[in-house]
Amino acid sequence: MRPKVTVVGAGATGGSTARRVAARGYADVVLLDIMADFAAGKALDLNQAGSLVGYPPNIVGTGSYEDTRGSSVCVITSGFPRKPGMSRDDLLLGNKEIIEIVVEKLLDESPDTILVILTNPMDAMAQLALHVSGLPRQKVIGQGGILDTARYRTFIAWELGVAADDVSGFVLGGHGDTMVPVPSYTSVAGIPVTELIDADRLEEIVQRARDGGAEVGGLMKVASAFEAPGEACAMMVDSIMLDQKRIFPCAVQLEGEFDIDGTFVGVPVKLGSGGVEQIMPLKLSSTEISDLKKSADAVVELVKIMGI
């Protein structure tokens, strides 16, 4: 029997993730949505695309959790987007109900699965998923840092007129406003970025990365980012399913690392078949540590609102 990966939420990001995972060819993909016909239609479209580009038509679109049984990895993208006039608490509590239901039903069918959480506010939703699932912390991982890092690397590449592949670096902390850049670990073909871009301009680039999702949404008006988030999710699934041992910035529950305990925070981790196999140690400055703790405090406040 082929391995199975489930993607919950057949919207733009869920469809993008499902397509990319299916195109890798190593697993069957289940695309699950409360709107079963919509999921089935999107899966049909993706399967037909596969016949054109060469991946197997093994995507199932469904509204039934029974079809997810035996999934090695479950990616959760479902949830309400933040709309004009919606408070942060409204978004938080609305998506809390969704995550609780989705996680419980997924675990009923796949008790040993690894959860990848994308639903916003991602860090808090990942902490909720860990709480609801009872899984070990290695098996509940938030996706946000890879996306923020992609934006950060792209903007640096544009600033310097270099290939994005030559930009190496990552960001820590929460997804979005509380993102913590680490210029001391950012380089371009091995050259420290601080030798290439002055501090004020680098901070402008960092701020644009923090606002990356809002910038895309503001330009698109009726949608939000989905291609880069889909690729980021697929890369995480690849590293887990293929035991690639890649190092990615992901949100995990820290238990004393970086002097933070019991809170989901984005840090560099090694992803393999066991999920988070190692939290990578970093030598951070006092300012970076302070910013990382502030990011963790922001997650704690959201968790308090949810009452978990």
pLDDT the model gives residue 181: 86
- Give the tokens for residue 74: 């479950």
Regarding whether 153 and 57 lie in a shared domain, the answer is: no
Regarding whether 208 and 155 lie in a shared domain, the answer is: yes
Query: Which tens digit of pLDDT belongs to each residue from 90-143?
Result: 789 999 999 999 999 999 999 999 999 999 999 999 999 999 999 999 999 999
Regarding whether 281 and 243 lie in a shared domain, the answer is: yes
Instruction: Answer for the pair 247, 214: CB distance below 8 angstroms, yes or no.
Output: no
Smallest CA-to-CA distance from 275 within 140, 147, 125 is with: 140
Q: How far apart are CA 169 and CA 249, in angstroms?
A: 10
For the stretch 300-304, contacts whose Cβ atoms lie closer than 8 Å and that sit 24 or more positions apart, written own/partner, are 300/263, 302/88, 302/92, 302/121, 302/123, 302/124, 303/124, 303/127, 303/128, 303/263
The pTM assigned to this predicted structure is 0.95
- List the domain range (segments joined by +) for residue 97: 4-142
| Secondary structure letter of residue 174 according to DSSP | S
Regarding whether 137 and 53 lie in a shared domain, the answer is: yes
Domain boundary among 102, 118, 142: 142
Regarding whether 186 and 66 lie in a shared domain, the answer is: no
Q: In this structure, which amino acid lies at residue 198?
A: D
Query: Which residues, in sequence order, are CB contacts of 90 under 8 Å at separation 6+?
Result: none
Regarding whether 288 and 161 lie in a shared domain, the answer is: yes
Number of domains in the chain: 2
CATH code of the domain covering residue 71: 3.40.50.720
pLDDT the model gives residue 35: 98
Instruction: Answer for the pair 254, 221: CB distance below 8 angstroms, yes or no.
Output: no
Regarding whether 131 and 159 lie in a shared domain, the answer is: no
Strand partners, 187: 168, 192
Annotated active-site positions, please?
Answer: 175
Query: Which tens digit of pLDDT belongs to each residue from 203-237?
Result: 999 999 999 988 998 999 888 899 999 999 999 99
Instruction: Answer for the pair 130, 114: CB distance below 8 angstroms, yes or no.
Output: no
CA 150 remoteness from chain centre? 12
Domain boundary among 142, 157, 184: 142
pLDDT < 70: residue spans in the chain: 82-89
Regarding whether 216 and 182 lie in a shared domain, the answer is: yes
Regarding whether 162 and 57 lie in a shared domain, the answer is: no
Instruction: Answer for the pair 271, 177: CB distance below 8 angstroms, yes or no.
Output: no
Regarding whether 177 and 106 lie in a shared domain, the answer is: no
Domain boundary among 142, 173, 207: 142
Q: How far apart are CA 282 and CA 233, in angstroms?
A: 24
pLDDT the model gives residue 223: 85
Regarding whether 93 and 241 lie in a shared domain, the answer is: no
CATH code of the domain covering residue 182: 3.90.110.10
Regarding whether 151 and 109 lie in a shared domain, the answer is: no
- CB atoms < 10 A from the CB of 293, how many? 17
Angle formed at CA 102 by CA 60 and CA 32, multiple of 5 degrees: 15
Question: How many Cα atoms are found within 13 Å in the side-chain-facing hemisphere of 35?
Answer: 10
pLDDT the model gives residue 108: 98
